[in-house]
Structure 1
Amino acid sequence: MTEPVIALNDATVTVANQTKILKGLNLEIFPGDFITVLGTNGAGKSTLFNAISGDLELSSGTISYQGKNITNLPAVKRTAFLARVFQDPKMGTAPRMTVAENLLLAEKRGFHRGLKNRHLTAEKLAYYREITAKMGNNLEDRLETAAGSLSGGQRQALSFLMAIQVKPELLLLDEHTAALDPKTSAQLMDATNHQVVDNQLTALMITHNLADALKYGNRLIVLHAGEIVLDVKNQDKDQLTEEDLLEYFVH
């Protein structure tokens, strides 16, 4: 049987007032899974991502990476196998560095990163032009532009490309299209899907868009009050409708 990339076993997160944000959650994420994650505000979605990334300690339970216990592994060391794209386009890029320089910096994820010896060869620039062209928003024409001068959609596309520049074992997409207008959001979502599928990435994506949750990925989970109340994949997922999912929000 295939070993999960990440496994959470009885994962519990309790805050100071003894409220449990995650309640003994169990989740196995397998290679090639593209999991869309739904849930109301306060359901535990961001807490789940923070626990996986190491930004939040578990109160009890364990997290494993390829069978190895990483429950106490610091967040900075998890970047060697994990990447995350946040909702805010400003969070994933260095604003004063150019698009090309940001991509070069991303190639050092998981290692010591400095600003010295930024070798932007003609070959490297040609490669960056090729990969940015796949995002469909003219980012390839802005390689020498500072990231802070990009549109929100272009900057978020850059954040996404930086996250997959060194292929992560797990990609966390934390509502990465939510801050964009509908047209730009749809464009980035389509590009995201192509990149995840073409590069055989393993990904979790939080979304509040029911249509996107149904359209993309091979698997869907719904969180409620810190627990997984629905976990479906493949054909079972394909048979779901938005009305089916709304039931989990109504009740």
Structure 2
Amino acid sequence: MTNPVFSLKNATVTVANGTTILDHLNFDIDKDDFITVLGTNGAGKSTLFNVLSGDLMLTEGSIEHNGEDISHLPAVKRTSFLARVFQDPKLGTAPRMTVAENLLLAEKRGAKRTLRNRKLSAEKLKHYYELTKTIGNNLENRLQTATGSLSGGQRQALSFLMATQVKPGLLLLDEHTAALDPKTSDQLMAATNEQVTQNNLTALMITHNLADALTYGNRLIVLNAGRIVLDVKNEDKDALTEAELLKYFVHS
């Protein structure tokens, strides 16, 4: 039995008015897990992600990364092993920098950065061309375009590539296709699945799409009132139906 990459032990978040958002949550994330995360609004999904990323500190309990307690490690320090893609395509990219410059910036995630000329070599541009071509939305032909001029789908695809081009220890996908039209969403989900599975990434993906939750990943959890009420993987996950999943939302 392998040790988990991340482990939350009695993880609790209580806000000023006394409301408990995460309720003594015990949750292990194993290497190469691709976990889809479901739950109603207020179930604790975003809080779970904020705790993992370091944007929110626990009230009680602890969080470990490869056996080391990182409960008080700030978010900026966690970028060396963690990446996140948000629902809003505008987050995660620098709008005045070109697509290529954003990709160059992302290569330095978690490392020390120095001021230097942003001119890119022909070899580097060729690499970025091949990288962006894998997404299939014409992003490869807009490498020298300011990111703020891209469509929402292209900008979100860029955010995803920036999060994954340097393999993170944990990838958080925070409803990263929710703001996109159905065709663009399907396109990005296919690219996401390919990247995660082929590169053996450890990932959590929040989604409200039951079909996506059942289709993608090796494991599925449902949160309710800050607790995990369902945690299935592999064959048990494959046997789940949308009708069975809906039962966890009717009485939430």
- TM-score, structure 2 as length reference: 0.98
Give the distance between the partners of 2:112 and 2:152, measured in 1 at CA. Answer: 28
2:113 alignment counterpart: 113
1:44 match: 44
After superposition, the Cα gap between the structure-2 partners of 1:115 and 1:193, relative to the gap in structure 1 and judged at 3 Å, is farther
Q: Which amino acid aligns with 1:11?
A: A
| 1:159 and 2:159 matched | yes
Q: Which moved more, 1:213-222 or 1:115-124?
A: 115-124
Deviation at 1:215, TM superposition (A): 0.2
- Measure the CA separation in 1 of the matches of 2:204 and 2:12: 19
Q: 1:234 aligns to what? A: 234
SS at match of 1:211: helix
Distance across 1 between alignment mates of 2:69 and 2:61: 11
Cross-structure match for 2:125:
125
Residue pairs, 1:192-231, within 5 angstroms: 192-231=192-231
Q: Distance in 2 between matches of 1:89 and 1:129?
A: 21
Superposed CA offset, 1:71-98 (max 9, x none): 0001100000000000000001000100
Answer with 161-170 or 110-119: which moved more: 110-119
Give the partner amino acid of 1:96.
Answer: R
Distance 1:204 1:166 in 2: 17
1:105-130 CA-partner distances (Å, limit 9, x unpaired): 00000023355232411111111011
1:139 and 2:139 aligned? yes
1:34 aligns with 2:48: no
Q: How far apart in 1 are the matches of 2:119 and 2:166? A: 17
Map Cα deviations across residues 128-173 of structure 1 (whole Å, 9 max, x no partner): 0111001011111110111000000000000000001211000000
Partner AA of 2:54 in structure 1:
G
Structure 1 unpaired stretches of 5+: none
Q: How many residues align?
A: 251
- Identity among equivalent pairs (%): 76
Say which SS state the counterpart of residue 126 (structure 2) adopts: helix
Structure 2 gaps of 5+ residues are none
Q: What aligned pairs does 1:171-210 form with structure 2 within 5 A after superposition? A: 171-210=171-210
Amino acid at match of 2:206: I
Measure the CA separation in 2 of the matches of 1:206 and 1:165: 21
Cα distance in 1, alignment partners of residues 117 and 197 from structure 2? 33
Structure 2 CA distance for aligned equivalents of residues 198 and 141 of structure 1: 24
Q: Give the counterpart letter for 1:167 in structure 2.
A: K
Tell me the secondary structure at the aligned position of residue 38 of structure 2: strand
One-letter amino acid matched to 2:247: E
Q: Note the aligned Cα RMSD (angstroms).
A: 0.8
Alpha-carbon separation, structure 1, partners of 2:223 and 2:134: 33
Letter in 1 for 2:143: L
Which one-letter code corresponds to 2:82 in the other structure?
L
Q: Which amino acid aligns with 1:156?
A: Q
Equivalent position SS for 1:55: coil
Q: For residues 139 and 45 of structure 1, what CA distance do their matches in structure 2 show?
A: 31
The amino acid that maps onto 2:209 is N
| 2:245 paired residue number | 245
Q: Distance in 1 between matches of 2:111 and 2:118?
A: 15
Find the counterpart in structure 2 of residue 14 from structure 1: 14
2:6 and 2:187 map into 1 onto residues whose CA distance is 29
1:41 Cα shift? 0.1
